[in-house]
Amino acid sequence: MKRTATRLADGRELIYFDRRDDADRGAPDTRDLPPRPPASQLRHDPIMDEWVAVAGHRQTRTFLPPADECPLCPSAPGRPTEIPSSEYDVAVFENRFPSFSLVQGEYAQVGGLSEVRAGVGRCEVVCFTSEHGSSFADLSPDQVDLVLRAWADRTAGLSALPGVEQVFCFENRGAEIGITLAHPHGQIYAYPYVTPRTRQMLASAERHRERTGGNLFADVLAAERKAETRVVASNEYWTAFVPAAARWPFEVHVYLNRQVPDLGSLDADERAAFASLYTGLLRRLDGLFGVAMPYVAAWHQAPVRTGRDLSYLHLQLFSTRRAANKLKYMAGSESAMGAFVNDVPPEEAARLLRE
C-alpha cells in the first residue's frame, strides 16, 4: 500500500491510499475555498450525562447534488472537487463541514447546569472508490483490503491526536438513512469523549466479567455459534449473526472469531476473509426485496484509553427497511424512551438473509 498525504486549498489534510507504488498524487487543489469553520460547541446534558455537539455550520453542507456535481468524484478539467487527482483508489480527507475539529473558536458558557466546551476532535470522509455509481458490495477483495487498511491507518492516527477518546468508522448508505452524498463513502469520527453506547456496552461487559470471569462479547458470539439459528454467514475468521434482541428489522453483527480491540489488530488473512463474507452479506441485504437497501454499517472499536481489555472489535450492520415498501422509523417509543419494538422476529430475519 502506498500512502500519500497532501493538503487541500483551505489547509485540510487529504490522504491517498493506493495499491500501486507508482501512483502520482501531486495534483494540487486549485479551488478558492473559504476559511475552515471553528470546532463545534459541546454542551453537557446533566440529566442524561451525555455530551451534545452544536455545529451550526453544518446547516450549509452539500445536500444530494447531481452526479455531475459530486464533490467526491475525481477532479476533471474545469470541475475541481475535494479530490484533486483525476482518479484514485481510496481517498480520505478532513470533512469540510465537521462535527468536531481542532480549529478553535469562542465558547461562552450558556448558564444553567450545562457545561460548555470546544468540540475538539476530527471528522474525516473515506471515499471507497472513484466510481460514482458503485457501492461497497461491488468492491473487489483487494479494494476492501485497502479500505480496511485505510481505516486502520486513520484509527491509529486519530487516536494519537490530543483530546481524542474514541474513533468511530462507519458508512451510511441510502437516501432513507439520510445521506447527503450518493458517492460510495463512509466517515470517521474522532470523538473528544467516549460515546454513550460504548460506555453502556463496556459497563455491561464489566458486570459480566465480575459475575462470570468471561468476556461478554466472546460469550455472546460462542452462544450464537452454538445455537446456529440466527447465524447468517461464517468462515474460519468471522461470524455474522442476527442478534437475539435485534432492534432493527434487519440487523446483523459481524464478529471476528478472536478478541481484538480495533481494526489495526487484523492480520492479512482476517482482512481477506472479511472481504468475501461482508460483500456477500451486503448483496444478501439487497436481494431481500430486490432494491438497494438503506443501511448503517458501524465499527465498534475500543476507546483510546479506557476499556480496551473489555472491548471486542465487531461490525453492526442494520437497515431501516422492514418490507419492500415500508420503513422502520424511530417513533415515540424509540426516540423518546429508547425502548425499541421490532416488527421482524430475529430468527425470521436470519432465515430470509440466509435464503
**Inter-axis angle of helices 141-159 and 268-289, to 10 degrees?**
110
Buried b (16+ CB within 10 A) or exposed e, 269-292: ebbbbbbebbbebbebbeebbeeb
Catalytic residue selected from 57, 132, 183, 185: 185
Share of the chain above pLDDT 70, in %: 100
Q: Which three cell numbers stand for residue 326?
A: 415500508
Q: Which three cell numbers stand for residue 142?
A: 483487494
CATH 3.30.428.10 domain position(s) in the chain: 2-193, 197-354
Q: Which three cell numbers stand for residue 343?
A: 416488527
| pLDDT at 154 (0 to 100) | 98
Greatest C-alpha distance within the chain: 64
According to DSSP, the β-strands at 295-300 and 166-173 are antiparallel
SS3 state of residue 60: helix
| pLDDT at 99 (0 to 100) | 96
Give catalytic status of residue 183 as yes or no: no
| pLDDT at 71 (0 to 100) | 98
Nearest to 259 by CA among 223, 301, 297: 301
Give CA–CA dist 140/138, Å, rounded. 7
Give CA–CA dist 181/200, Å, rounded. 31
Nearest to 263 by CA among 320, 332, 188: 188
Q: Residue 199, exposed/middle/buried by CB under 10 A (0-12, 13-18, 19+)?
A: middle
Question: CA-CA distances (angstroms) from residue 73 to 10, 87, 109, 209?
Answer: 19, 8, 41, 47
Q: Which residues of the chain have pLDDT under 70?
A: none
Q: Pick left, alpha or beta for residue 142 (phi over 0 → left; psi -120 to 50 → alpha; otherwise beta).
A: alpha
Nearest to 230 by CA among 60, 92, 345: 345
Q: Pick left, alpha or beta for residue 158 (phi over 0 → left; psi -120 to 50 → alpha; otherwise beta).
A: alpha
pTM: 0.97
Average pLDDT score, the chain: 97
pLDDT tens string 123-182:
999 999 999 999 999 999 999 999 999 999 999 999 999 999 999 999 999 999 999 999
CB-based contacts of 242: which residues, under 8 Å, 6+ apart? 230, 232, 250, 251, 252, 253, 346, 347, 349, 350, 353
Partner residues linked to 62 by β-bridges: none
Q: Which CATH superfamily is 197-354 part of?
A: HIT-like (3.30.428.10)
What is the CATH code for 2-193? 3.30.428.10
| pLDDT at 127 (0 to 100) | 98
SS3 state of residue 106: coil
| pLDDT at 305 (0 to 100) | 97
| pLDDT at 135 (0 to 100) | 98
Write the DSSP string, 296-350.
EEEEE---SSSSTTT---EEEEEESEEETTEE----IIIIIH-----SS-HHHHH
